[in-house]
Structure 1
Amino acid sequence: MTNDENIVLMKADLDQIDLVADLFDKYRVFYEQPSNVEEGKKFIRERMENQQSVIFLAIEKQEISVRPLGFVQLYPSFSSVNLAKILILNDLYVDQSARRSGVAKSLMQKAKEHALETGAKELTLETASDNHKAQHLYELIGYEKDEEHFYYNLLLN
């Protein structure tokens, strides 16, 4: 957890869409997508309005403003085999200026708390095979690498 008392974690709503959109754009650029803040904002707005995801936002309170530090986005899903609700931790991003400060760990803890509060039986995620820093964090806080399954994707566009 972060020790800075000026850092606040909150469930984002439409009032924070601009704060989330900037971080979301940086996240997408990290994964080699072209920058497009407006399309990202539209995407985030649709997820929020349709209650298709939950976003937790880390902000730093400053004298007259707030600075977005990071976010985590969760999508609901289900496991037919386990007859249970699961959450997919689809997106985690911390601004370069806030890395190694505990923000990512705090966001991951918030995601876990939300999963427990909403009755999910599993919190699952994936990351790029070369994202070793993220993998280290996930394993440090208790996630286990799935060695039994292969994942396949069919790109439709």
Structure 2
Amino acid sequence: MRIRKADKGDAKSFLQFQCLLDQEATYMLFEPHERTTTVRQQRKILAEMLQADTSCIYFAVDEDEIIGYVGIYGSYLERIRHVGYLTIGIRQAYCNQGIGKQLLEKADMFAKASGVKRLELTVVKENKRAVHLYKKCGYQEEGIRKSAVRIGDVWMDELYMAKLYNY
């Protein structure tokens, strides 16, 4: 397993990975078959991110297969250019192997290199494994949105978490 930066040639494989993640991950935002992004749209999204100095995606790959990712989504707005919104996803078969920690370390390195002072994310409160990982990697809870996510017939709270950098 290795971690590498995404490029726009990854559009098709990243979209396939996201669709697999939608099917197997309980706490991700998309329901299975709800994603309507095309390869062309995905290519455009990746190209725009590659041009932005406060956005980036890293992939965890096993051989040539994407097994996990971390995305840092920055803003072009001056007042919030220092903030990156983070998303992360790992295929179920590769969980509990330290990949999430390695991806978050890459996000830390990117934040430092790009001048991002704050990485923030949201996570379903019941996703104990993810909450534990984020806390272990220095993220702190900042707030809660009650009944923000509905999975099946169950309403779940969503935590706001962030990590601040002092460089």
TM-score, normalising length from structure 2? Answer: 0.70
- Asked if 1 retains the 8 angstrom alpha-carbon contact of 2:74 and 2:81, the reply is no
Residue 23 (1) aligns with residue 20 (2): no
C-alpha distance in structure 2 between counterparts of 1:42 and 1:145, whole Å: 36
C-alpha distance in structure 2 between counterparts of 1:139 and 1:79, whole Å: 29
2:94 counterpart (98, 104, 108): 98
Residue 33 (1) aligns with residue 31 (2): yes
Q: Write out aligned runs for 1:69-108 (5 A).
A: 69-77=67-75, 80=79, 85-89=82-86, 91-108=87-104
Give the SS at the match of 1:55.
strand
**CA distances 1:59-99 after superposition (whole Å, capped 9, x unpaired):** 112xxxx222101111103684xx7511110x211111111
**Identity percentage of aligned residues:** 22
Structure 2 counterpart of 1:140: 136
Shift >4 Å, 4+ stretches: none
Residue 126 (1) aligns with residue 122 (2): yes
- Asked if 2 retains the 8 angstrom alpha-carbon contact of 1:20 and 1:68, the reply is yes
- Asked if 2 retains the 8 angstrom alpha-carbon contact of 1:74 and 1:111, the reply is yes
- Asked if 1 retains the 8 angstrom alpha-carbon contact of 2:11 and 2:42, the reply is yes
C-alpha distance in structure 1 between counterparts of 2:60 and 2:122, whole Å: 21
TM-score, normalising length from structure 1? Answer: 0.74
Structure 2 counterpart of 1:117: 113
Structure 2 counterpart of 1:49: 47
Distance 1:150 1:95, change over 3 A: closer
Q: Which runs of 5+ in 2 are unaligned?
A: 149-167
Distance 1:41 1:74, change over 3 A: farther
Distance 1:48 1:96, change over 3 A: same
Q: CA deviation at 1:128?
A: 1.2
Q: Which runs of 5+ in 1 are unaligned?
A: 1-6
Matched residues, number: 138
Alignment RMSD: 2.6
Q: Which 10-residue stretch deviates more, 27-36 or 95-104?
A: 27-36
Structure 2 counterpart of 1:13: 7
Q: Which 10-residue stretch deviates more, 44-53 or 135-144?
A: 44-53
- Asked if 1 retains the 8 angstrom alpha-carbon contact of 2:5 and 2:59, the reply is yes
**CA distances 1:109-140 after superposition (whole Å, capped 9, x unpaired):** 10111011000111111111221110000001
- Asked if 2 retains the 8 angstrom alpha-carbon contact of 1:23 and 1:93, the reply is no
